[in-house]
Amino acid sequence: MVNPQIEGKTYPRTVSYLVGREKIREFAKAVFSTDPANLDLEAAKALGYSDLIAPPTFAVVIQERSLTTVLADKEAAIDFSRVVHGDQRFIQERPIVAGDELTSELKVASVKTLAGNYMVTFETQIFDQKDALVCTAISTLVVRGEA
Amino acid sequence: MSLTIGQELPPRQFKITRDSLVRYAGASGDFNPIHYRDEIAQSVGLPGVLAHGMLTMGLAVQTVVDFVGDSGKILDYQVRFTKPVLVDAKTGAVVSVSAKVIEIDEDSKTARIDLTAVCQELTVLGKAQVRVAI
């Protein structure tokens, strides 16, 4: 179900993702945000941002691009049909802003077994075009064991 | 912004419908069919279509964003997904979110606010903690 040997493995930097203003608005509406900093350019600028800022969980879109690579990795051998999202964390160095070109680098922080299930924790670091860290996304997937 | 330990923020209720799930799938790129097709959800042993955990995480924090008035003040946000949110095709689901100030750190100018998210009397997020700039 999961190859425990992948603990510590790192995956190559993803190709860059350009954060669009309309993508931020679309995501903001999908998570029921009414924050003007996500929706109204003038309001975002009045708060000192260069453009719209993304809602706090937007980094999941970038994290997903790295996770897709892991799920496709034959060495990791993760059975996606048995995967449940266990927990999630986003540590922001600064908000994501429209115009950012983001890349991510994923590391398998740990692989643990608990009551017949595997708990795989991924740490994804997200960088901007100046290679400054923007966000660290930490995600644990639970891979359910054979019943 | 003045916060005090133990202070409760105004609670919010979010009505999630199947439309909300389709909208979130498109916005996030998570097209797992268990979030829009009952027969597929049932084929993997679920009672029916579930909300994306990340949708619940994303909307719950809006309770804090509304209060602090700027998404950019959310410095650190974590949750554990404890129970699924089942979304009925006709009636949807309601997630009720309350938020309470737990810690205030005057040195780092941050506060920790914990969230409680409940759907049909079940707590759907555990260890839901938000660190905000104050």
Asked if ipTM goes beyond 0.90, one says: yes
Inspect the interface and report whether the beta carbons of A88 and B78 lie closer than 8 Å.
Answer: yes
The average pLDDT across A44-61 equals 98
Q: Is A37 on the interface with B (CB under 8 A)?
A: yes
Nearest of B89, B100, B22, B28 to residue B64 by alpha carbon = B100
The average pLDDT across B107-134 equals 97
- Cα A73 to Cα A104: distance, rounded to the nearest angstrom: 17
The average pLDDT across A33-44 equals 98
Inspect the interface and report whether the beta carbons of A85 and B70 lie closer than 8 Å.
Answer: no
**A78: CB partners within 8 A, 6+ apart:** A1, A2, A70, A71, A120, A141, A143
The CATH T-level fold of domain B8-15+52-133 is Thiol Ester Dehydrase; Chain A (3.10.129)
Residue A147's pLDDT band (boundaries 50, 70, 90)? low
Contacts of B23 in chain A (CB under 8 A): 29-30
Q: How many CB pairs under 8 A join A and B?
A: 104
pLDDT of residue A88: 98
Residue A39's pLDDT band (boundaries 50, 70, 90)? very high
pLDDT in tens, A56-97: 999 999 999 999 999 999 999 988 778 889 999 999 999 999
What residue spans define the domains of chain A? 4-19+55-143
Instruction: Please state which CATH number belongs to domain A4-19+55-143.
Output: 3.10.129.10
Q: What percent of chain B has pLDDT over 70?
A: 99
Count how many Cα atoms sit within 13 Å of the Cα of residue B51 in the half-sphere of its side chain: 31
